[in-house]
Amino acid sequence: MKRPPMLMHMRIQGEKGGFGLWLPLFLLLPLALVVFIILSPLILVAAIILWPSGWGKRAFLSLRAAIEVFWSMRGLSVDVHSGRQRVSISVV
């Protein structure tokens, strides 16, 4: 079973300075669940209205695909140096 990403580390270094940021993704998951539960009646109504046009199904599939992409991000690492500038993103 795939595990969701836990942390995202961003580091941006410019000519004059830079900053690093640790994003605790594991804290976003309960938050997203709470938001989803609160908004679920609205989502359901929107889905019922949009279903005949085909956009309701598309929206649900998009949500599913977005969750799958988020779940698959563990291990992603981007590190780009250009002269003294540096952008680094890693998901663990």
Partner 1 sequence: MSDNKKKILEMLAQNKISADDAYRLLSAIDGGEGRRESGNKAGTAVKDKAKYLRVTVVPGADSERSGNCDRVNIRVPMSLIRAGIKFTSLIPSDARDKVNLALHEKGIDFDERNMKPEDIEELIGALSDLEVDVVSKNGESVRVFVE
- Span interacting with partner 1, options 6-14, 23-31, 43-51, 80-88, rule CB under 8 A: 80-88
Q: What is the dihedral of CA 25, 30, 32, 35, to 10 degrees?
A: -150
71 binds partner 1, rule: CB under 8 A: yes
83 binds partner 1, rule: CB under 8 A: yes
Residues 31-60, interacting with partner 1 (CB under 8 A): 58
2 binds partner 1, rule: CB under 8 A: yes
- Span interacting with partner 1, options 8-16, 28-36, 43-51, 69-77, rule CB under 8 A: 69-77
Among the listed residues 87, 88, 71, the one whose alpha carbon sits nearest the alpha carbon of residue 2: 71
Spell out the residues 6+ positions from residue 26 whose beta carbon is closer than 8 angstroms to its own.
Answer: 4, 6, 7
Q: What's the closest the beta carbon of residue 92 comes to partner 1, in angstroms?
A: 12
Phi, psi of 24 (to 5 degrees): -80, 90
In whole angstroms, what is the distance from residue 58 CA to residue 63 CA?
A: 9
Point out which residues bind partner 1 (CB under 8 A): 2, 58, 61-62, 65, 68-69, 71-84
